[in-house]
Amino acid sequence: MEAHFEFDLPEWAAVTAILLLLLISVFFSLAETALIGASRPRMHALARTGNSRAQLVNRLRARQDELLSAILLGYNLVNIVASAIATGAMIKLFGQAGVAYAAVAMTLLVVIFGEVLPKTLALRRPDRLMLALAPTVRVTAAILSPVNRVVQFVVNRTLRLFGAHRAERGAGEHAAEELRGAI
């Protein structure tokens, strides 16, 4: 017996869902780039003056690997769901050719509006954006933490198989440590 599932979402609902998911994708791209690009010395200086958001940014940065993993998990989840909805809607409208139409449309939408545009904005204003996004990033990471722990477990076990389970200190860590020592 063949199982058959029909996804019959009205077009307005599909478009609304895709737009909402793309907005969430923008958030994840902004957060990822702002987290990496925000100035450590500026965040430390703001935190010393009592800026609670800068203090939060510093706490988030202390868990940067875990946070980036959660951001990437959320980013991929929303883009895959948006693409699945778009594929269902396009198949409904155009038959099997809708698969190709959805792939092209979602690739363009995700690359332009979910990647390039928000990351360009975040590169231009990383400090301001990270300060603004920090509370939402913290909540999002907490929500995604159960799945993220599983992902991290699989990643760490896979790295261990290839002998890459110990982190090497990179140039960025040395520079950050030297800067903290100078301050």
Dist CA 71 CA 32 (whole Å): 7
Name the band, by pLDDT with cuts 50, 70 and 90, for residue 8.
Answer: confident
Q: Is the pTM value of this prediction over 0.85? A: no
Determine the average pLDDT of the residues in 118-138. Answer: 97
Dist CA 19 CA 10 (whole Å): 14
Q: What is the pLDDT of residues 35-85, one digit of tens each?
A: 999 999 999 999 999 999 999 999 999 999 889 999 999 999 999 999 999
pLDDT for residue 10: 87
Write down the residue that tokens 């996004």 correspond to. 133
3-class SS of residue 23:
helix
Would the pLDDT of 165 be above 90?
no
Q: Give how far Cα 61 sits from Cα of 32, 40, 182, Å.
A: 11, 9, 20
3-class SS of residue 149:
helix
